A and B are shown apart, each in its own frame.
Chain A
């Protein structure tokens, strides 16, 4: 059971943490203003030079392999709906880690998305 809890934490926390780090890397790079291929390539290269991007990609890879391991232990119908929790963790991370203003309205939307994702994933069976 302890292994399952650790894996679930890794899936939700490392997965969302990885995305937050990528968001932080892109925030450090600054908003894209030009959209031609050369400017986009420069933006990607600048992002690749930030530590946050590599940390984010590593965390996302860790979450992915944890998901694979978890799927070998538990049924898909149990594991996948848990990923809906990522939306709650994501909003919290955005507020704490990226200093975003998560208003009551945004929290309400996130809660609806969590419920909806849970229903979609349960409805798959």
Chain B
């Protein structure tokens, strides 16, 4: 297939983007929401105040932008690659969450969790050795 290499390269690039943007978006959103704090009452004035705080939070906007970019990359890659290829490959995000948690937020990661990350990486490597697309391109 003439376009095979190009499709594989684009597929890898978009999966890497998904693996980075998804967890990063969640971490930024989580940090932003923690800074704002939970809404304490559900009356109109309190809700408007909460929404104003949300709209002024750079971290929340950045998190939402990352998650939107993640979904765009997901939609794009699914336009040509197998779902049964993309879904397990994107599980590398669990490894990214552990790394971000450990190095950015200073969270303790248990040996069992690191073992899980290694098993996921092994699984992704095995899936990565199968062709990204097994159906006809219309």
Contact = CB atoms under 8 A, between A and B. Distances in A.
Interface of A: 19-20, 22-23, 26-27, 29-32, 40, 43-44, 47, 86-87, 90-91, 93-95, 98-103, 105-106, 108-124
Contacts of A105: 126-127, 129-130
Given A32-B76, A123-B113, A113 B127 contact: yes
Given A29-B79, A47-B75, A100 B134 contact: yes
A86 B94 CA distance: 14
B90 to A, nearest CB: 10
For A102, A117, A121, the residue with the greatest tally of chain B CB atoms inside 10 Å of its CB is A117
Main secondary structure of the interface of B (DSSP, over half): helix
Nearest to B80: A31
Interface of B: 7, 72, 74-76, 78-80, 82-88, 91, 94, 98, 109-130, 134-135, 137-138
Contacts of A119: 112-113, 115-116, 119
Contacts, number: 148
Contacts of B129: 105, 109
B79 A98 contact: no
A111 to B, nearest CB: 7
Nearest to A115: B119
Nearest to B101: A124
Nearest to B95: A120
